[in-house]
Amino acid sequence: MRTTLSIILASSIIFLSPAAAVAADATVKQEVEKIASAYADSFNKHDASGVAALFASGGVLVNPTGLHTDIEQLVQGGFKAGFDHQEITVNQVWPLGTDAALATGEFRETGKNPSGAPIEFIGVWTATDVREDGHWKIRMLTGMAKAPPPK
């Protein structure tokens, strides 16, 4: 009897653990998607402080011009250049325990330059997101231009 119970308990743990891990991964992906959506919503409202609020304390944004800690100022610069719309997709998320995750995706920014000509920037991003004070935040966001398709 005891052996049968042990086998049943061991089997339950083996079969339920992968299901729990998949559910946890899906939950973390939903949290990362919420951050991406809130980022695009704030950007599209020209709310640079809203974008900056999505970053954890000490959070940074890295792009081809370097590492930036003043996120609000950096986003304001994009608005001044004429970018006024952003779309973000989340392609993959990898949980790192219960309070951190790595993520990657793509983005597209559009607008008009100061002379009125359309501008567009298509890129890829990676992020390290962390749970801070019970909320998911961006610790480090990296963005760069997406390579053109091969000819």
pLDDT tens per residue across span 23-34: 557 899 999 999
State the residue range of the domain holding 132. Answer: 2-145
Placement of tokens 């004070």 in the chain? 133
Quick check: is 150 in a domain? no
Q: Assess contact for 57 and 141: CB atoms under 8 A.
A: no
Strands 83-95 and 135-145: unpaired
pLDDT tens per residue across span 85-94: 999 999 999 9
Total number of domains in the chain: 1
Work out the angle at residue 93's Cα, subtended by the Cα atoms of residues 88 and 97, and round it to the nearest 5 degrees: 140
Quick check: is 65 in a domain? yes
Rounded to two decimals, what is the model's pTM?
A: 0.82
- Supply the CATH number for residue 115's domain: 3.10.450.50
Quick check: is 151 in a domain? no
78 is written with which tokens? 């994009």
Q: What are phi and psi of 118, to 5 degrees?
A: -65, 140
Quick check: is 114 in a domain? yes
Placement of tokens 């899906």 in the chain? 26
Quick check: is 74 in a domain? yes
